[in-house]
Amino acid sequence: MISTPRLVLRRFTREDAPAVQRLAGAPEVALNTLLIPHPYPDGEAERWISTHDEAFQRGDMTFAITTAEDQGLVGAIGLHSKPDHDRAEIGYWIGLPFWGKGFATEAASAVLRHAFETLSLHRIYAMHFTRNPASGRVLQKIGMRHEGSLRHHLKKFGEYIDVEVYGIVRDDWSG
């Protein structure tokens, strides 16, 4: 569990499935994420949550982003590690009703700190669709540097997608 002033990041449980389906089911959330389908099928949230325990063993951690106030689900954030390289990729989504409140920045900042200070990783990076500059802002605000662009790197809903790569290495981490 990771706490920030306004948020608690914790493991998902089956009870979160209806909220995941409701929030991740918004087309605005699916559009700029690689792995969220649209329409969001019944049972998908339960299936996704059921993969988390095994994934955690491999260093693939997914946290529910919840409000410290009432533990309501706001979104999700993942840290996907490659232990051989002491590096991990951050990915996240925030439910549409909660956009623009700084929650992605607050969650990503806390996960970055966890990666460097608790997991002792060396490099953390993230990629966002070029058409989604809000995510680029989040990565800038947590101290990541723009490292490059990858043209047509991904395919989503049948369309080739340009992505931006952001990263930070331990030498640049000031806490």
Ligand X SMILES: CC(C)(COP(=O)(O)OP(=O)(O)OC[C@H]1O[C@@H](n2cnc3c(N)ncnc32)[C@H](O)[C@@H]1OP(=O)(O)O)[C@@H](O)C(=O)NCCC(=O)NCCS
Interacting residues with ligand X (CB under 6 A): 29, 32-33, 92-94, 99-105, 128, 132-135, 137-138
Torsion angle in degrees (nearest 10) through CA of 113, 100, 93, 123: -30
Taking the complex as a whole, how short is the minimal distance between the CB of residue 126 and ligand X, in angstroms? 6
Residue among 142, 138, 2 at smallest CA distance from 68? 2
| Least distance in angstroms from the C-beta of 77 to ligand X | 9
Q: Are 16 and 73 a contacting pair, CB within 8 Å?
A: yes
Tokens of 123: 């490099």
Q: Which is nearer to ligand X, 53 or 70 (CB)?
A: 70
CB of 21 to ligand X, least distance (A): 15
| CB closer to ligand X out of 53 and 144 | 144
Residue 85: how many CB atoms within 10 A of its CB? Answer: 10
In whole angstroms, give the CA distance from residue 108 to residue 152: 25
Q: Say whether 127 sits in a helix, a strand or coil.
A: strand
* Residue 33 C-beta: closest distance to ligand X, Å: 5
For ligand X, the closer of residues 26 and 169 by Cβ is 26
What is the torsion angle, in degrees rounded to the nearest 10, for the CA atoms of residue 139, residue 165, residue 118 and residue 106?
Answer: 20
CB closer to ligand X, 3 vs 53: 3
Smallest separation, CB 159 to ligand X (Å)? 15
Q: Between residues 53 and 134, which has the closer beta carbon with respect to ligand X?
A: 134
